[in-house]
């Protein structure tokens, strides 16, 4: 792609800034993993994987936007299909660090994630009716919310005596509830009501990724540091 990023291209600039922030976050998480107790290191490593994968995709999404001026929907959903299941693994991993946990928690969260993303993509791509894709995708999100707020995962977290884990879990719950709400708002504005331009929609999605992917990792890192220092 031979076009370069224009100074007044706010969407392209947002892709670039967020890709750099994601790279920096990856370096931070992977360096910090050596400064926490062993039981937390897998979670910190996965946080770095999430931001690394997202950074690579953001680099390519920026190029697509600069070259074509169209939303990089395919690249964005490929990114989400890799990174969102990794974020769901984090719920399982932080609980496993402090308690006996059934692997069924992860599989149920994965099912909800796949439903949410696959039908969201089909709706945005126009493969199926936009409203149908939205409704089924929302059902997948609702299933995830039920599991993390009321399902087995929530019950395991409530039963653990580890304050750091409970603090991280609660923060992650609210990221999934409030932070993830940005995506369906963008979907409705961009594809169902046409009240958002492609420029606005991409900035909305970019902001959501910045908050949710880096935020997830920082919450886990803070809990790992607190727990490691308390037991030092």
- Cβ–Cβ under 8 Å, residues 39 and 3: no
Give pLDDT, residue 229.
86
State whether the Cα torsion 101-104-105-107 is positive or negative.
Answer: positive
CA distance 103 to 100: 10
Q: What confidence tens digit (pLDDT) does each residue in 90-100 have?
A: 999 888 887 78
Domain ranges in the chain are 10-226
Q: How far apart are CA 145 and CA 42, in angstroms?
A: 24
**Cα gap 174→187, rounded to integer Å:** 20
Look up tokens 């997202």; give the residue.
54
CB 67 within 8 A of CB 1: yes
Domain 10-226: top CATH class: mainly alpha
The burial of 70, by beta-carbon neighbours within 10 Å (0-12 exposed, 13-18 middle, 19 or more buried), is given as exposed
pLDDT value for 165: 86
pLDDT the model gives residue 1: 47
What are phi and psi for residue 103, nearest 5 degrees? -65, -15
pLDDT at 44 (0 to 100): 95
Reference 59, options 78, 46, 87; nearest CA is 78
User: CB–CB of 50/83 below 8 Å?
Assistant: yes
CA 36 to chain centre: 23
**pLDDT value at position 51?**
97
Write down the pLDDT at residue 73.
93
Residue ranges in the chain whose pLDDT is less than 70: 1-2, 161, 232
């Amino acid at each position: 792609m031979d076009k370069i990023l224009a100074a007044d291209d706010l969407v392209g600039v947002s892709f670039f800034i967020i890709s750099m922030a994601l790279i920096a976050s990856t370096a931070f998480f992977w360096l910090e993993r050596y400064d926490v107790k062993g039981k937390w290191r897998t979670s910190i490593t996965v946080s770095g994987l999430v931001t690394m994968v997202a950074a690579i995709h953001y680099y390519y999404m920026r190029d697509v936007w600069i070259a074509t001026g169209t939303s990089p929907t395919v690249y964005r959903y490929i990114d989400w299909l890799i990174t969102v299941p990794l974020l769901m693994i984090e719920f399982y991993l932080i609980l496993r660090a402090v308690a006996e946990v059934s692997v069924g928690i992860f599989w149920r969260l994965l099912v909800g994630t796949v439903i949410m993303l696959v039908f969201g993509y089909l709706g945005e791509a126009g493969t199926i009716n936009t409203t149908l894709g939205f409704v089924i995708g929302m059902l997948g999100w609702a299933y995830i919310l039920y599991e993390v707020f009321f399902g087995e995962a929530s019950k395991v977290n409530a039963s653990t005596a580890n304050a750091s884990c409970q603090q991280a879990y609660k923060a992650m719950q609210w990221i999934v509830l409030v932070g993830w709400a940005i995506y369906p708002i963008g979907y409705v504005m961009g594809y169902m009501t046409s009240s958002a331009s492609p420029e606005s929609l991409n900035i909305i999605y970019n902001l959501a990724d910045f908050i949710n992917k880096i935020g997830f990792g920082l919450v886990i890192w803070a809990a790992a540091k607190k727990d490691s220092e308390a037991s030092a």
